[in-house]
Amino acid sequence: MNPDALAHALLAAITPLAEARRAGSTDGLTASDLPLDRPKNRDHGDWASNAALKLAKAVGANPREFAAEIATALAEVDGIASVEVAGPGFINIRLDAAAAGALAKTIVDAGAAFGTNDSQRGNTINLEFVSANPTGPMHIGHTRWAALGDALARLLLASGATLVREFYINDAGAQMDRFGRSILAAIKGEPTPEGGYAGAYIGDLAQRVIAAEPGLLDLDDDAQLVAARDRAYAFQLGELQNSLEKFNVHFDVFFSERILHAKGENGEPSLVDEAVDRLRLQGHVFDDDGAVWVRTTDFGDDKDRVIRRSNGEYTYFAADAAYYLNKGDRGFAHKIYLLGADHHGYVHRLKALAGAAGDDPEKDVEVLIGQLVSINGARLSKRAGNIIELDDLREWLGTDALRYSLARYPADSPLTLDPEILRKRTNDNPVFYVQYAHARTHNVARNAEASGVDRSEFAPELLDHETESALLGALQEFPRIVGFAAEVREPHRVARYLEELAGLYHRWYDNCRVIPLGDAPVEPVHRTRLWLNDATGQVLRNGLDLLGVSAPERM
């Protein structure tokens, strides 16, 4: 019996009792309104509910008396061994061994699908993250968002959402010209221009550009700049994409800002031009002193925003508006932006933009701000000179250790990682601890096969050791952990769950044998325990995959 089935059993027990006391008191009540928790003290049972306390006032009952009535009804449900009332009205539920143990086979049969759920079904989401400027390598801040954004995408997809991972390429505007001039100066052997980009990577790009464009210096000055800029941009974007793929981060869409500014073949308005007109139709655009403004204060912004200056030039806000509207045009009802610690000002701006576009700022747009991250002893990039590069971090610490550690903490908490711990192959290293538990499940399975223990029998009632009850209770939680982590946008909840599960598995391993001692015969309990062993391995594997971390079979 899983938590969902138990919640429905609880609803079925409560409804007639409540209706008998006060008609209509449970109208609209669903199983999801009846939360179940796993008691920290296993002596209190497998599950606990505060439903009686929550509903007592609505039904006009004393909480403890109502809890006792619910307990009596629940005790008649198949699969429930006992129900007790504690304190002012808490209900403690203990499942019988067979009902609890049946989960092991369910998990093995479901395989990689176990943990998937429908909590986000119907949501069409555009998830934008990383979006590093294509003028240099990715740094440690981008690395954190790459790990968190990809893990969040995996969670939302596992919870039924329709989702696209999107990288916004900021490839228009003055910064690209500064980048082009920096490349051109390096090609000519001249100093870096004021406000330009420095670092050995600029010299490397310059060599690649001149090799690809041997006649570049024969062009006029404007053409030289365009050729150097665009060729170097293509090379640098390719490096960014390659770095992400090596970090096990895949994007479905790389969206170029240039698309927003491009006119039609016959001079038709650009998406930025159209954005101003579309916002004006919503009634939130006004003209003042020759400039065009969006009245974003109508939606909680601290000031109104200029979208087109009096000289006719568009502001960055215009591109933001066109991009937001374009996401909606592509069918994404919900937009999630993952932004760095220096982007707090964008929260109100984007929400105000959603309101000005006729959307619900509290429902249709979501902005997550990540805090700074540092790694003790990390060296600045030799190529870039002033940042800690993703590629250097990955080669130093490894993809698994880096991804797991970055996903292990809430995005809004500043983070300092200890490389000494991340490089250890001991239980002090959280990712090693979880991966080792997974590898151990495979080692047990290999040894079981060599000893003649297989899964030809399954007698779940035999899984009655206290460590088996605790392990099964944790396994039951996995789908709910996945759904909740997706709902609150917190991948770290999966990491912490996996560490708890690994600990429970290690304790079970120390107490319950899958392989008979000595020459003792193979019994049903050994075969049944192999199911539990393999089920645990499957959940550990599924959880690590949600974080983009490998699940090795040997360590």
Express each pLDDT in 136-186 by its tens digit: 999 999 999 999 999 999 999 999 999 999 999 999 989 999 999 999 999
Q: In which band, very low, low, confident or very high, does the pLDDT at 18 lie, cut at 50, 70 and 90? A: confident
**CATH number (domain holding residue 39):** 3.30.1360.70
The reported pLDDT for the residue numbered 341 is: 80
Q: In which band, very low, low, confident or very high, does the pLDDT at 26 lie, cut at 50, 70 and 90? A: confident
Residue 40 has pLDDT above 90, yes or no: no
Render the burial of 329-356: b for 16+ CB within 10 Å, e for the rest. eeebbbbbbbbbeeeeebbbbbbbbbbb
Q: Are residues 319 and 217 in the same domain?
A: no
Contact criterion met (CB below 8 Å) for 421 and 406: no
Q: Are residues 168 and 261 in the same domain?
A: yes
Q: Which structure tokens are listed for 474?
A: 């944790």
Q: In which band, very low, low, confident or very high, does the pLDDT at 2 lie, cut at 50, 70 and 90? A: confident
User: 254: which strand partners?
Assistant: 167
Whether 527 is covered by a domain: the verdict is yes
Q: Are residues 47 and 166 in the same domain?
A: no
**CATH number (domain holding residue 450):** 1.10.730.10
Of 246, 277, 292, which closes a domain? 246
Of 246, 278, 309, which closes a domain? 246
Q: What is the mean pLDDT of residues 27-41?
A: 85
The reported pLDDT for the residue numbered 113 is: 98
> Per residue in 67-96, pLDDT tens?
999 999 999 999 899 999 999 999 999 988
> SS3 of 24, please?
coil
The reported pLDDT for the residue numbered 386 is: 77
Q: Are residues 168 and 59 in the same domain?
A: no
Compute the distance between CA of residue 313 and CA of residue 305 in angstroms, rounded to an integer: 14
Q: What average pLDDT does the structure give for the chain?
A: 94
Q: What is the mean pLDDT of residues 16-40?
A: 84
Whether 539 is covered by a domain: the verdict is yes
Residue 539 has pLDDT above 90, yes or no: yes
The model carries a pTM of 0.90
Compute the distance between CA of residue 478 and CA of residue 498 in angstroms, rounded to an integer: 9
Q: Are residues 315 and 286 in the same domain?
A: yes
Q: Are residues 256 and 168 in the same domain?
A: yes
Of 356, 373, 390, which closes a domain? 373
**CATH number (domain holding residue 323):** 3.40.50.620
Q: What is the mean pLDDT of residues 396-401?
A: 96
Report long-range pairs for 120-124 (Cβ below 8 Å, ≥24 apart).
120/156, 120/159, 120/160, 120/161, 120/483, 120/486, 120/487, 121/159, 121/160, 121/161, 122/160, 123/156, 123/160, 123/161, 123/162, 123/333, 123/334, 124/161, 124/162, 124/163, 124/331, 124/332, 124/333, 124/334
Q: Are residues 130 and 181 in the same domain?
A: no
The reported pLDDT for the residue numbered 236 is: 98
Q: What is the mean pLDDT of residues 21-50?
A: 84
Residue 344 has pLDDT above 90, yes or no: no
Residue 24 has pLDDT above 90, yes or no: no
Longest dimension (CA), the chain: 93
Residue 494 has pLDDT above 90, yes or no: yes
Q: Are residues 157 and 193 in the same domain?
A: no
Whether 419 is covered by a domain: the verdict is no
The reported pLDDT for the residue numbered 189 is: 96
The reported pLDDT for the residue numbered 506 is: 98
Residue 222 has pLDDT above 90, yes or no: yes
Whether 132 is covered by a domain: the verdict is yes
Contact criterion met (CB below 8 Å) for 476 and 411: no
Contact criterion met (CB below 8 Å) for 93 and 129: no
> SS3 of 215, please?
coil
Domain count, the chain: 4
Whether 387 is covered by a domain: the verdict is no
Residue 508 has pLDDT above 90, yes or no: yes
Residue 384 has pLDDT above 90, yes or no: no
Whether 264 is covered by a domain: the verdict is yes
Q: Are residues 11 and 139 in the same domain?
A: no
Q: Are residues 167 and 106 in the same domain?
A: no
Q: Which structure tokens are listed for 434?
A: 């979880």
Alpha-carbon separation of residue 525 from 94, 149, 455, 458 (angstroms): 21, 43, 10, 8
Q: In which band, very low, low, confident or very high, does the pLDDT at 41 lie, cut at 50, 70 and 90? A: confident
Q: What domain range is 241 assigned to? A: 174-246
The reported pLDDT for the residue numbered 425 is: 92
For residue 88, how far is the Cα from the chain centroid? 38
Whether 29 is covered by a domain: the verdict is yes
Q: Are residues 311 and 367 in the same domain?
A: yes
Residue 21 has pLDDT above 80, yes or no: yes
User: 511: which strand partners?
Assistant: none
User: 92: which strand partners?
Assistant: 48, 84
Whether 185 is covered by a domain: the verdict is yes
Residue 112 has pLDDT above 80, yes or no: yes
Q: Are residues 541 and 434 in the same domain?
A: yes
